[in-house]
Amino acid sequence: MGAGMADEGSLSHQPLRGITWGHRRAIDPLVEASRVFAARHGGRGVEWAVRDLRAFEHQPLAEAIRDCDLLVFDHPFIGEIAGSGLFLPLDDVLARVPGGTAEATYAGPSLRSYRWRGKVWGAPVDAATMNAIYRPDLLRSLDCPVPQRWEEVIALGRAARRQGLWLGLANGDHHGFLAAGTLMHNRGAPWTATPEGGLVFDLDAFAQALDALDEVLGYAHPDSGHFNSIALHDAMTTRDDLAYCPLTYGYATYGEADFGQRRLAFGPFPGLDAPLCAGTLVGGAAVGITAHCADPEAARAYVAFLLQSETQDGIFASHHGQPATMSAWSDGAIDQAFNGYFSAVGETLQHAAIRPRFRGFGRFEKQAGHHVGSYLRKETTRSALLAAMRDLVGATQAQAVA
């Protein structure tokens, strides 16, 4: 054997390497699935490492996959993935799973969001969208129902402030921008791609979305400008002054009885226009196989195992995960274990929108998030924000047609 060449026998027993984001929702079900998979496949599983939420949302793919065989990622990267040769298509993997290629098998647009130009580039293992979160005890103390429309959020905010309580928002990083995008979609002004691969973005509708956010911001805790979705969930479980948030990327595990000092509950997105819960920008996550994977066939077998109903409805649901299958989302026992998350959010997810996925959209989203976050923290003016967004949209269009 030549110097530096690995023995094939030893290679076949080395674990594959995977990277996900750092939260028990993301890591615990994958680790347990690896343990079960390894027990059935001669001891070979996947070693999972983590990166933080910001890296999950914005880290360049070529950098993220440098040291891994499997990567958990979000759908706006799909255009870059399909055009870069960095990942393997997964249509054959989904075909190994009963119902695996059918969009109806998955909650909301989960599978559709990872399909690009005729191929699937990510296996959806986690489903999420923007939804409301709240403290049931604090809403009871205010004698207020869970809001179903935006004007009821304002009424709740007024009631909360009279009692020394606050609304919460996740306006840190790019989360405030995605909240504005959800309001735009709900009002009938979606972000869409042009035939050339550019962006349709209605700046007038964006300004109207800012108006709606500004109204809620008057009742939101000042810390909201620095929260991302995880930080907001954490704060609402540990503090007693944050009663309700109308839209953030929901983490069902905060409804479990063993997590945090206070158990959170969940509600639909309370929109401005009917259908009131429609227009949220879908989140969730998929597993992709990198093109330089040490053992693509072993990786395919593991990913197929992740999509099995026994894994999604069993391992994921019992290890703090947020399954992507409709069977899990419609299971009453799973719903009860997560304090009603799936029944409260299911219709919102079914009406969720897919963000543009053309190559370069992730960069646009990150830069726009910086501008909107600065505005929501009152670090810049409305006119400066709108000018910056006009320039950014124009630059994105120019890059698309160049």
- CA-wise closest residue to 34 among 50, 8, 16: 16
CATH 3.40.190.10 is right for the domain spanning 14-128+282-350: yes
Give the position of tokens 């699935």.
33
- CA-wise closest residue to 83 among 98, 67, 61: 61
- What is the model's pLDDT at position 40? 94
Quick: pLDDT tens for 232-287: 999 999 999 999 999 999 999 999 999 989 999 999 999 999 999 999 999 999 99
Same topology, domains 14-128+282-350 and 130-281+360-401? Answer is: yes
Count the Cβ atoms, other than its own, within 10 Å of residue 287.
Answer: 25
- What is the model's pLDDT at position 6? 40
Is 266 within 8 Å of 349 (Cβ atoms)?
Answer: no
Is 245 within 8 Å of 312 (Cβ atoms)?
Answer: no
- What is the model's pLDDT at position 400? 61
- CA-wise closest residue to 251 among 76, 346, 122, 133: 133
If phi > 0 it is left, if psi is from -120 to 50 it is alpha, else beta; for residue 235 that is alpha
Give the position of tokens 């914005």.
58
Is 50 within 8 Å of 21 (Cβ atoms)?
Answer: yes
Q: Which helix H or strand E contains 133, and what residues bound it?
A: strand 130-134
Quick: pLDDT tens for 57-75: 777 777 888 889 999 999 9
Residue 45 and residue 34: Cα distance in Å, rounded?
5
Give the position of tokens 């810390």.
223
Give me Rg for the CA atoms of the chain. 21
Is 298 within 8 Å of 43 (Cβ atoms)?
Answer: no
Strands 130-134 and 123-126: unpaired
Residue 118 and residue 353: Cα distance in Å, rounded?
19
- What is the model's pLDDT at position 130? 99
DSSP 334-360: HHHHTTTHHHHHHHHHHT-BPPP-STT
- What is the model's pLDDT at position 11? 46
Q: Where are the domains of the chain?
A: 14-128+282-350, 130-281+360-401
Could you please state the CATH topology (level 3) that the domain comprising 130-281+360-401 is classified under: D-Maltodextrin-Binding Protein; domain 2 (3.40.190)
Block mean pLDDT (10 aa), the chain, length 402: 39 83 96 97 91 75 86 90 91 98 98 95 98 98 98 99 98 93 98 83 98 98 96 97 98 95 98 98 97 96 98 98 98 99 99 93 93 96 98 84 49
